[in-house]
Amino acid sequence: MSRPQHFGWFLARGFGPQGWGHPYLDWNYRWTSPDLYQQSARELEQAGFDLLIIEDAPSLGNTSTLDLRTRQAFGGPKHDPLLLAPYLFGATQHLGIAPTVNPAAYLPYTAARQFASLQHLSGHRLALNVVTDTGSARHFGSAPPLSHDGAYDRAEEWLDGIKQLWNSWGEGALLADPGADGGLGGRPGRYADGSKLTALQHRGDYFSFDGPLNAIPFTDGEPVIVSPGGSGRGLGFAGAHSDVQLALAPLDTESILAYRAKIHAAAVERGRDPRDITILFAIQPLLVSSAEEADRLVAASSRPDDAAIHLIAERQSSDLETDLTALDFEKPLDLSVFGDHVSQGSIARLLGKDDPATTPLRALLARQARLGRLSDGSGFVGTADEFADLIERLGDDADNDGVLLWGDLHPVTVHRLLDELVPILRRRGILRTEFASASDGGGLRANLADF
């Protein structure tokens, strides 16, 4: 038996058109209806998953790229995941739900009150995936946009302020004492002791607000904080605030150990215990029925046809907010086509190790299409047993906390990935078979602290 690990699902499309561009669209689920998500969330909980993280990007980009972002629904539309969360809580009992939230979009007092309400309503299963996207600032009256580090500074002040509001009810402030005979003819009851409420006044660089919060304190801990940052400043934010770190790194022992060391060092620097952060590495495996089928798919991916190249160009155009489909695929990519608003990280991922001055755009796009085998470590195509081998090895050799599987939240996607995998992981002792009991406090924090 191997050591248990935590499993989550990352809904990379967000609350958007699930199944668009795939044959399973013809199952005729309505992506705007909660039924699709509720059914999938129940399946994840049955499988023993701890957490569902729902991506979000409130902006469709600048006016010149609106068609690129919406043409194939890669960048939008997206509805608000915070408003989807109550429907998912209502359909499940143990699964944690982490809608993505941006400090630019929520004033601290409003955020603290809404999040506190959801934490109580969900049985303490709310998590918040805090992102610092600056491109959407103009939609919320925050112009000009902040710098990369400035956005993290604002996020720290925002989160610190929310936690001050959550804690503005001091110990013993909530009494809920009905008195003798329920206060009817006997000793009068008393609900709260106002002298133990903190009327805080926050005057910061980015926000000004007063307390106390008009919401009662939590019985089993604050909402879990998730963060996805990988930059130096992002890792510092994670060290200070994250309970769950959404991690991106090569899935080999050395890379996992190195990334975990960075997060743990950042936690120690901010006076926290590294064991309080659950690090989950995102991965999108392609599981097939046999090694022969995996070999066939990998071989075919080395020769993408024009349709496959065009689809990749469409997807990259959305990510890069630049229309690659209008360029000559047979010529090298002129980097001047990218505006200052385009993520340098996204450009670097497209280029890889190739020289843009000499490499045709078709070759850059074709490299994005190439798949690799789980069995030799070159990629993530393989059987459920081969994928379980990888997860088991990372847990035993790299002390990995767990993984986030990546895809649409659609019953077809969930079953395709998990039908064979769940029994294999459970037989090996990697995937939980039951959740934290009520005596442990229940809720997401208790499940994350289970092992």
344 and 225 fall within a common domain: no
Domain assignment present for residue 35? The answer is yes
Q: What ranges in 172-284 are assigned the alpha helix state H?
A: 232-241, 253-269
The whole-number pLDDT of residue 424 equals: 98
359, two tokens: 């490499």
Same domain, residue pair 164 and 267: yes
Last residue of a domain, one of 369, 400, 426: 369
User: Which residue blocks in 48-107 are alpha helix, DSSP H?
Assistant: 66-70, 81-91
| Cβ pair 242, 226 in contact under 8 A | yes
Q: Is residue 388 part of a domain?
A: yes
200 and 321 belong to one structural domain: no
The domain tally of the chain equals 2
Residue 335 lies in domain = 303-369
* Residue 145: per-residue pLDDT: 76
On whether the CB atoms of residues 127 and 53 are closer than 8 A, the answer is yes
Q: For residue 186, name the pLDDT band (cuts at 50, 70, 90).
A: low
Judgement on whether residues 167 and 309 belong to the same structural domain of the protein: no
Q: What is the pLDDT of residues 31-49, one digit of tens each?
A: 999 999 999 999 999 999 9
* pLDDT score for 83: 98
pLDDT digits (tens, 9 = 90+) for 415-448: 999 999 999 999 999 999 999 876 666 799 999 9
Q: Which of 62-66, 178-182, 190-194 has the highest mean pLDDT?
A: 190-194
358 in any annotated domain: yes
Per-residue pLDDT of 203-224, as tens digits, reads 999 999 999 999 999 988 999 9
CA distance 59 to 133: 9
> Which residue reads 């092992």 in tokens?
451
Mean pLDDT of 366-376: 94
Domain harbouring 430, CATH code: 3.20.20.30
Pinpoint the alpha helices (H) of 52-147.
66-70, 81-91, 108-121
Determine, yes or no, domain membership for 376: no
Among 340, 369, 398, the domain boundary falls at 369
308 and 161 share one domain: no
The answer to whether residue 297 is domain-embedded is no
Based on the fold, state whether residues 364 and 432 are members of the same structural domain. Answer: no
255 lies in the same domain as 364: no
Residues 409 and 335 in one domain: no
Percentage with pLDDT > 70 across the chain: 97
Q: What is the pLDDT of residues 142-165, one digit of tens each?
A: 767 788 899 999 999 999 999 999
Q: Residue 291 falls within a domain, yes or no? A: no
Q: Note if the pTM is more than 0.95.
A: no
Q: Is there a single domain that holds both residue 394 and residue 365?
A: no
Q: Are residues 69 and 127 in the same domain?
A: yes
Condensed to tens digits (0 to 9), the pLDDT of residues 235-282 reads 999 999 999 999 988 999 999 999 999 999 999 999 999 999 999 999
Please, where are the H alpha helices in 246-343? 253-269, 291-301, 306-320
Q: What is the mean pLDDT of residues 373-379?
A: 95
In a domain, residue 66? The reply is yes
pLDDT at position 438? 64
Residues 342 and 216 in one domain: no
Distance between CA atoms of residues 106 and 102, nearest Å? 7
Omega within 30 of 0 (cis) for the link into 108? no
Q: pLDDT-based confidence at 180, cuts 50/70/90?
A: low
* pLDDT tens track for 49-99: 999 999 999 988 878 778 888 988 988 999 999 999 999 999 999 999 999
Residue 97 resides in a domain: yes
In percent, how much of the chain has pLDDT > 90?
A: 78
Contact 152, 237 (CB under 8 A): yes
In this structure, are 269 and 357 located in the same domain?
Answer: no
Q: What is the mean pLDDT of residues 181-210?
A: 87
Handedness of CA 10, 12, 18, 22 (dihedral sign): negative
Read off the pLDDT of each residue in 314-337 and give the average, rounded to a whole number: 90
Ranges 92-96, 183-187, 368-372: which has the least confidence: 183-187
With 90 as the cut, is the pLDDT of residue 349 above it?
Answer: no
- What is the per-residue pLDDT for 345? 76
Alpha-helical segments (H) within 20-80: 34-47, 66-70
The mean of the pLDDT values for the chain is 93
- 16 vs 73: CA distance, rounded Å: 8
pLDDT score recorded for residue 13: 92
Confidence band of 346 (pLDDT split at 50, 70, 90): confident
